[in-house]
Structures are given as C-alpha cells and as structure tokens.
C-alpha cells in the first residue's frame, strides 16, 4: 500500500519543500519510490504557485537534492488523503491541529512534528530560515536529513 506523506511549514517555499526533496531522495536511494507519495504544503497562502526559495534550491542541489514543488496551502481534504502530516514548528502544528475540528468525518492522517523522528538533533522545531543567512538553509537541511531518515525507518 502506498503511504502518503505531507510535510507542512508556513510558506511552503523553504522548509517543507526541502523536507519533501530530502524524503524523496531517501526513498529513491532505497528503491522505495512505488511505496510513497510525497507532497508539501504551507499553513499560509501568500506564496501559492511559487517555486521554492532559490536559497533552499541551491543548498539542496549542492547535496544532490532537486526541489520541484509549487507552493500550495494545506486543505481540509489533506487530512483524509494523507496518512502522515508532518509539521516543521509549533505554530504549524497548532494551526494544523486547529483545522481538525472543522472536519466533518474522522481524519486518516496522523499529525506529528517531523522532529519527533530526529535521532541526532534534540530539537522540537525546524527553525524558519526565511529572514536569516545562508547557513540557516544548510542547518535546515542537516536537521531534515536526520528527521527524514528516522521517519522512514519508523514508517517503512
């Protein structure tokens, strides 16, 4: 059965597209492409339709990870269509959890902070790199590589 995984951040142009790319690369390296459908979304809608921020695209490409998503906002139907909804920070988690009371039938998705699967990094949030320096984008990728590895081991 295909596992459907949705990564969620605020704008869907930095952290969650990076998580999507990191997780896709991981499943490709293990020949598991047929077993997963991976997507990302933002809690906000300001960047809908945009490609990921060039700073995260460049940092990812230096690690052999290509990001090809277009920003979209999380929808109520995502709670029925995805098995896993993985949030980047506490604000995202709060907003995603607040959407659950608007559902008119029980959700399918398990909602968890992505960093609950990290092994090396003892953090609860993936820091928002948008207003920071280039090193923040590298750090986001370091954290996400750890968390996505743990996530795959957990759900595979």
Active centre residues (catalytic): 9, 15, 128
| Total number of residues that touch ligand 4NP (CB under 6 A) | 10
Residues 6, 12, 27, 79: which binds ligand 4NP (CB under 6 A)? 12
> Whose Cβ is closer to ligand 4NP: residue 64's or residue 131's?
131
| 55 forms part of the interface with ligand 4NP (CB under 6 A) | no
Q: Does 139 bind ligand 4NP (CB under 6 A)?
A: no
Give the list of residues 6+ apart from residue 102 with CB closer than 8 angstroms, or none: 76
Q: Which two tokens stand for residue 1?
A: 């059965």
Closest CA to 5 of 111, 104, 90: 111
96 makes contact with ligand 4NP (CB under 6 A): no
Identify whether the C-beta of residue 129 lies closer than 8 Å to the C-beta of residue 139.
yes
Residue 145 binds ligand 4NP, judged by CB under 6 A: no
Three-class DSSP category at 7: strand
In the list 128, 143, 145, 151, the residue contacting ligand 4NP (rule: CB under 6 A) is 128
69 binds ligand 4NP (CB under 6 A): no
Q: Which of 5, 13, 85, 151 binds ligand 4NP (CB under 6 A)?
A: 13
List C-alpha distances in Å: 60 to 4, 33, 145, 147: 22, 19, 11, 16
Q: Give the binding range for ligand 4NP (CB under 6 A) out of 10-18, 21-29, 30-38, 102-110.
A: 10-18
92-105: burial string, b at 16+ Cβ within 10 Å, e else: bbebbeebeeeeee
Binding residues for ligand 4NP, rule: CB under 6 A, are: 9-15, 46, 128, 130
């Amino acid at each position: 059965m295909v596992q459907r995984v949705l990564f969620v951040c605020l704008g869907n142009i930095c952290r969650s597209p990076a998580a999507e790319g990191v997780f896709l690369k991981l499943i490709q390296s293990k020949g598991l492409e047929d077993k997963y459908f991976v997507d990302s979304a933002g809690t906000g809608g300001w960047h809908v339709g945009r490609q990921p921020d060039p700073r995260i695209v460049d940092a990812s490409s230096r690690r052999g990870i290509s990001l090809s998503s277009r920003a979209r906002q999380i929808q109520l139907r995502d709670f029925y269509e995805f098995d896993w909804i993985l949030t980047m920070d506490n604000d995202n988690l709060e907003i995603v959890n607040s959407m659950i009371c608007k559902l008119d039938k029980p959700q399918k998705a398990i909602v968890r902070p992505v960093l609950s699967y990290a092994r090396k990094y003892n953090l609860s949030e993936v820091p928002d790199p948008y207003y920071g320096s280039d090193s923040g984008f590298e750090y986001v990728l370091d954290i996400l590589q750890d968390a996505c590895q743990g996530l795959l081991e957990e759900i595979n």
